[in-house]
């Protein structure tokens, strides 16, 4: 039986989402599915990126039309004013052809996020990503409380039942913690379990 393939599709300016994505990919593979990591295309001019000290990642850029090749996706999205970064919106705005054909109907998707501050919008970013899925007929797979770390209030821990998350600090100085990476790995593993239940090779 062929394994289902999950694309982990990210945008990351400074690497927090990329670090979470590595744990999500690890969890997906542990869970028994193929996992491939991609990034969406950049939309900001290089001059602006230089001023932001943006980091470049050696990850293939996913063409929106190639979403059809995957059985499911997990999007990794940093917050911008409490909603997904515009690069992710631009990616979905280029999927009109797929939408017209219903090419993504019945596929599955999850989401994980990153914010500067603890209450900077992880859940609102996940929530405001949902209309893209709904309009395409894609089925949202939440993390739920499948990671017990989500109950840990002994320190700042990013993530929510919507999906994994990290808190980066305003200057980006905080890196994803062991607990946040554990949640991300659990998201990958439990997402794989859901996909394996419904996948028909």
Query: Which segment (8-16, 32-40, 101-109, 144-152) binds ligand FMN by CB under 6 A?
Result: 8-16
Query: Which segment (26-34, 75-83, 177-185, 191-199) binds ligand FMN by CB under 6 A?
Result: 75-83
Site string for ligand FMN, 13-52 (x = CB under 6 A): xxxxx-----------------------------------
Which alpha helices (H) appear in the chain, and where do they start and end?
16-30, 46-51, 86-93, 96-101, 122-136, 178-198
CA distance 147 to 47: 41
Q: How far is the CB of 196 from ligand FMN (least distance, A)?
A: 29
Q: Which residue is nearest to ligand FMN (CB)?
A: 120
Q: Is 81 exposed, middle or buried (0-12, 13-18, 19+ CB in 10 A)?
A: exposed
Residue 115 in the binding site for ligand FMN (CB under 6 A): yes
CA distance 152 to 164: 14
CA distance 8 to 16: 14
Residue 12 in the binding site for ligand FMN (CB under 6 A): yes
Query: Which segment (67-75, 93-101, 109-117, 152-160) binds ligand FMN by CB under 6 A?
Result: 109-117
CA distance 9 to 75: 5
Binding interface with ligand FMN (CB under 6 A): 12-17, 78-82, 114-117, 120-121, 168, 172
């Amino acid at each position: 039986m062929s394994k289902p393939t999950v694309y982990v599709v990210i945008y990351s300016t400074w690497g927090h989402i990329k670090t979470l994505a590595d744990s999500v990919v690890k969890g997906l593979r542990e869970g028994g599915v193929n996992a491939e990591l991609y990034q969406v295309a950049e939309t900001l001019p290089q001059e602006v990126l230089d001023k932001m000290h943006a980091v470049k990642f050696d990850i293939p850029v996913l063409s929106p039309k190639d979403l059809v090749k995957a059985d499911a996706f997990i999007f990794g999205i940093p917050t911008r004013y409490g909603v997904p970064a515009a690069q992710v919106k631009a990616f979905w705005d280029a999927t009109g052809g797929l939408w017209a054909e219903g090419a993504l109907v019945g596929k599955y998707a999850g989401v994980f996020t990153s914010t500067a501050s603890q209450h900077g919008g992880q859940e609102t970013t996940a929530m405001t990503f949902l209309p893209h899925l709904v309009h395409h007929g894609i089925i949202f797979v939440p993390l739920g409380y499948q990671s017990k770390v989500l109950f840990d209030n002994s320190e700042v821990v990013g993530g929510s039942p919507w999906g994994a998350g990290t808190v980066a600090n305003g200057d980006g100085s905080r890196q994803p913690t062991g607990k946040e990476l554990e949640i991300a790995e659990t998201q990958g593993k439990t997402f794989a379990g859901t996909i394996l239940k419904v996948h028909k090779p």
